[in-house]
Chains A and B, each alone.
Chain A
């Protein structure tokens, strides 16, 4: 008995110990779950029932200077289908027939989108018209379309059609800006999404009372541009017509307000249509660039204005200073290299001509003599003062500074002084050229070019004030040069291209196409710049045609200036000059 009792006790003890051990283990596990790993399990539990919903912010719109919408985001409904909810083939078939009938799509096409294994909804059709959207919504509410959902999605719309495409830019599939202002101001236009925390029940349905705003969305800013839709559209129409009429391969037109640096219109050709659903086509990437700021060119004779402004400012010439235009100059390059010859564009020797006539006849040799008086140090200093070789700071992506070779460059030679003075061997952007001309129209003050007038956001409107970069020349120099430019436009050769009733100051330019192997003969950049009215310019204009049949600025670009200038004069009510010309 003793032994049996002892064994029994031992068994009881063992069993007790086992139970105790188990109890201890349980308590320990409980302690582990409740105390040691409490954060982990709390997080898991929270994740189970808590959801965070991102509330997208409304992307800002882009308006023209007068408030007409150019690019806006609106919500358009999209119909989706969830295959997981349509596992029954008969139901799927019925839904495909009903939905296909509503959307005007072949039911087979809808049926093929139904994948019973797929959990994520598949878009059947987006950007539904309002009436159709109503019919689909009603059918869903009536229970006729199980597995079908309809939800609004943001869509960028262009009420004015495809105007100013390279300026506006476009959005990618993920709603990020990929070009133009949409890219440059992407952060400002996008805004900040809001956050909502909520809870769901065991069927993953939201418990409405548990909603809580963590952070309200902050909508993107609207951009109000300096671009006027009327001016922009007119420029686009006239450029397309000019390119066609001149059998050119491209071109650009820009209009700026000299007193503020505001770009009123800016277009280049060829271009693309921002409203095209297939806006991005591989191989056409170059079209998406804002060419007036991303591409540089040799401006040709238009640059003579800057050379002349420098000479006038330094009191080295007056409009009547005489120079000897021999028609040709040769430079010895030394070290057995062939001499460089500079000729006038018309190969003529004009003899003794005044500084004004240097501009009127667009004399290369005459300009070289003026540049020689100025000297390289001052000439390049004034190129710098007029903004060449530096980015202007306009709110467009991809701006280049241009290429200006100075005497500090080992490859620079005296030939550069001569050629740069009349716009060859130097590369500028069209915007830089226009801005320099606008500075002459603004009594010598260089403004920072701008394309955005105001930013309007949740914090209220923020106007972008005009920014003065520096004074390039004195008001007297600017006025004198403008008078010389009026003489250029009033010359008999350009008589037929005068803008009726408006006194215009301007200068034509023709530059050869540069290639890797030198200049292409027979292809030119034909351009013209103008300030109107000449006495107190309200508008600065640059017109350039690339490889036009007529080749020269005076023959290809000047007729375009007449048409564009006449339209602008009527639109901006630019008064007739005193003599009614």
Chain B
């Protein structure tokens, strides 16, 4: 599961960056496009952070087993 956690963190980080830059606009068509993009960026990066926390918990668990 450790590679999955890292992969998720990377995917969410890149997605957030793309939303922040306005490169992708999936489900962001609205009158306040900028605010929308910031919301997507924040949510993606929070998810990336949580994926990293998940990775950390798994790393420690593996370390404890060894």
Partners in one complex: no
Residues of A within 8 A of B (CB): none
